[in-house]
């Protein structure tokens, strides 16, 4: 029994306090250990979202939800509701002989993937007769009064851009510091991400005239894989597709699309600046269509159960306690077990579910393990988009993503993170610290996202204006590596974090009004 509950018992708040205690004591290290050893065993092969092993993991969670007495949340037409909410994926096989048709004022030329151009990144490879725009080096630097995008409209167009930086007699024209930023491989990324794509272009074709990208056309590997699993839900959901499509071509490409144009940089490869003029290439378009050879539909499930609220009015408001169940593929033949990331969080969700089921709240508490987090927060985004529960009635999301280890730099204190958006930090600090008296024997560090490895499912909720945070171990060497094994989990810590999560869920589930925490 936790000391903080004693005064309540003595004061006669016995029923409530005893039930709270029943919930707390149902969260055990032994059960967490069982869940994590099951989910993070080698047999589960990393629980990649669209694999049979993931389906087994999801089934395991559903069976635990059922045993704990949670109600299935997903209606089925003409049948009983189920725990599984299926996200649509497809396993597609594409023809990798992708042809580009470049049309120059009506005259068509065909170019072949791998021999004439290569795909360097991105997956949006279908372009329907899009106009080309030549942007020179693609540099915009107000400090140098240099703007390659001046008066150009890139919206919906394909951009042709030179690798590297402007030179005269082999020497950079721009000051070293500016030049270095735009030069070499990373310089290209910088141009593509912060320059070209932000102006609405749909794809970039990079041309390397002088080897400055550090990547030779013949040596460069196309990132295209003919067989892949593609998410078929709303593209707005999740962050998939956020990599702009970037191609690499041989310099001869310029002679095709800038034939007869005195600004063709190929005419003066040693002094491109001689006739330098970024410009729309009027009448020049590119068409590309990837042929799908086979496509098999796959479903990967979120697992969703609820503990219905006990208050006739507040039961129509929701607190979501979730964590992602999926992890990543093997590396060099070694399974990435994802014991901390995120068998631990999934186990925590199951334990908190069991505890809340023993002690239901006024509000309905939704428990979920998400699919597709590692592929771009797909499962949580799909859940919110699906309208299974109205967004405006979801008052808070507690996300558990890694609750069983301690990140670099905190080894001594075993501190654990609560990571949230800046705007929630101050209010959450007080709220959580008040509930944490005596629950954890390590510090809880409440912070905005500087310790986050690129966000987790709570981001989906925050983006919709729903306050949320995630429990997070911090960065450690085994993250997304084969070493993330169940033997290395700090089980007392995972249990303490789950207990704290339970108390937070209980408080949020029962208070008169859930604050906005801003
Ligand atoms: Zn994770």
Phi and psi at residue 283, in whole multiples of 5°?
Answer: 80, 0
Query: How far apart (Å, rounded) are the C-alpha atoms in residues 283 and 462?
Result: 45
Contacts of 274 (CB under 8 A, 6+ apart): 268
**Residue ranges of domains in the chain, CATH in brackets:** 15-88+301-510 (3.40.630.10), 96-290 (3.50.30.30)
Q: How many CB atoms lie within 10 A of CB 217?
A: 16
Q: What's the confidence (pLDDT) of residue 4?
A: 45
pTM for the structure as a whole:
0.74
- Coil, helix or strand at residue 88: strand
Q: What's the confidence (pLDDT) of residue 14?
A: 43
343 CA to middle of ligand 1, Å?
Answer: 9
11 CA to middle of ligand 1, Å?
Answer: 42
- Which one, of 316, 323, 439, lies nearest residue 371 by Cα? 323
Per the omega criterion (within 30 degrees of 0), is the bond before 508 cis? no
480 CA to middle of ligand 1, Å?
Answer: 9
Q: How many CB atoms lie within 10 A of CB 411?
A: 10
The full 3-state SS of 290-341, as one line of letters, equals: CCEEEEEEEEEEEEEEEECCCCCCHHHCEEEEEEECCCCCCECCECCCCHHH
437 CA to middle of ligand 1, Å?
Answer: 27
Q: What's the confidence (pLDDT) of residue 189?
A: 83
Q: What's the confidence (pLDDT) of residue 230?
A: 82
Q: Would you say 310 and 361 are in contact if contact means Cβ atoms under 8 Å apart?
A: yes
Q: What's the confidence (pLDDT) of residue 261?
A: 95
Query: How far apart (Å, rounded) are the C-alpha atoms in residues 265 and 271?
Result: 8
Q: How many CB atoms lie within 10 A of CB 374?
A: 23
Phi and psi at residue 160, in whole multiples of 5°?
Answer: -105, 125
490 CA to middle of ligand 1, Å?
Answer: 17
Contacts of 461 (CB under 8 A, 6+ apart): 320, 380, 384, 394, 397, 399, 467, 468
- Coil, helix or strand at residue 401: coil
pLDDT per residue as tens digits for the range 155-207: 999 999 999 999 888 889 999 998 988 988 788 888 887 789 889 999 999 99
Query: How far apart (Å, rounded) are the C-alpha atoms in residues 295 and 395?
Result: 39
Phi and psi at residue 180, in whole multiples of 5°?
Answer: -60, -35
Low-confidence ranges of the chain (pLDDT < 50): 1-15, 236-241
398 CA to middle of ligand 1, Å?
Answer: 14
Residues, beta carbon < 5 Å, ion ligand 1: 341-342, 401
Phi and psi at residue 391, in whole multiples of 5°?
Answer: -50, -40
Helix 345-358 with 14-26: angle, nearest 10 deg: 150
9 CA to middle of ligand 1, Å?
Answer: 39
Q: What's the confidence (pLDDT) of residue 451?
A: 66
């Amino acid at each position: 029994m936790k000391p903080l509950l004693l005064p309540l018992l003595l004061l006669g708040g016995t029923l409530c306090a005893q039930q709270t205690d029943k919930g707390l004591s149902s969260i055990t290290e032994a059960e967490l250990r069982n869940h994590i050893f099951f989910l993070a065993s080698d047999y589960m092969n990393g629980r990649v979202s669209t694999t049979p092993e993931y389906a087994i993991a999801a089934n395991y969670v559903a069976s635990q939800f059922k045993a704990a007495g949670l109600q299935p949340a997903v209606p089925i037409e003409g049948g009983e509701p189920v725990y599984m909410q299926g996200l649509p994926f497809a396993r597609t096989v594409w023809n990798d002989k992708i042809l580009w048709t470049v049309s120059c004022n009506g005259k068509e030329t065909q170019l072949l993937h791998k021999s004439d151009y290569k795909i360097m990144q991105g997956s949006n490879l279908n372009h329907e007769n899009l106009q080309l725009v030549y942007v020179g080096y693609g540099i915009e630097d107000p400090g140098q009064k240099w703007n390659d995008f001046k008066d150009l409209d890139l919206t919906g167009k394909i951009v042709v851009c030179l690798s590297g930086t402007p030179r005269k007699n082999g020497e950079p024209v721009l000051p070293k510091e500016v030049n270095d930023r735009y030069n070499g491989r990373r310089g290209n990324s910088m141009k593509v991400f912060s320059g070209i794509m932000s102006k609405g272009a749909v794809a970039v074709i990079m041309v390397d005239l002088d080897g400055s990208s550090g990547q030779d056309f013949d040596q460069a590997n196309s990132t295209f894989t003919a067989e892949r699993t593609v998410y078929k839900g709303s593209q707005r959901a999740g962050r998939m597709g956020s990599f702009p499509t970037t191609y690499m071509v041989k310099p001869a490409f310029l002679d095709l699309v800038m034939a007869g144009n005195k600004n063709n940089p190929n005419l003066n490869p040693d002094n491109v600046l001689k006739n330098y003029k970024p410009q729309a290439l009027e009448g020049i378009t590119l068409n590309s269509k990837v042929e799908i050879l086979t496509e098999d539909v796959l479903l990967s499930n979120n697992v969703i159960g609820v503990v219905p609220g006990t208050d006739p009015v507040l039961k129509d408001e929701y607190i979501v306690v979730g964590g992602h169940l999926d992890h990543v593929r093997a590396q060099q033949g070694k399974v990435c077990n994802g014991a901390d990331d995120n068998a631990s969080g999934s186990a925590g969700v199951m334990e908190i579910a069991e505890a809340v089921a023993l002690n239901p709240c006024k509000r309905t508490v939704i428990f979920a393990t998400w699919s597709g987090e590692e592929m771009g927060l797909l499962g949580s985004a799909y859940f919110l988009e699906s309208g299974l529960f109205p967004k405006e009635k979801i008052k808070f999301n507690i996300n558990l993503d890694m609750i069983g280890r301690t990140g670099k730099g905190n080894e001594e204190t075993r501190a654990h993170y609560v990571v949230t958006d800046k705007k929630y930090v101050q209010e959450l600090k007080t709220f959580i610290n008040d509930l944490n008296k005596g629950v954890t024997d390590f510090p809880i560090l409440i912070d905005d996202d500087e310790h986050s490895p690129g966000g987790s499912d709570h981001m989906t909720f925050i983006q919709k204006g729903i306050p949320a945070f995630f429990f997070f171990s911090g960065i450690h060497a085994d993250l997304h590596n084969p070493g993330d094994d169940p033997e290395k989990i700090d089980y007392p810590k995972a249990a303490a974090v789950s207990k704290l999560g339970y108390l937070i869920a209980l408080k949020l589930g029962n208070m008169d009004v859930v604050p906005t925490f801003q």
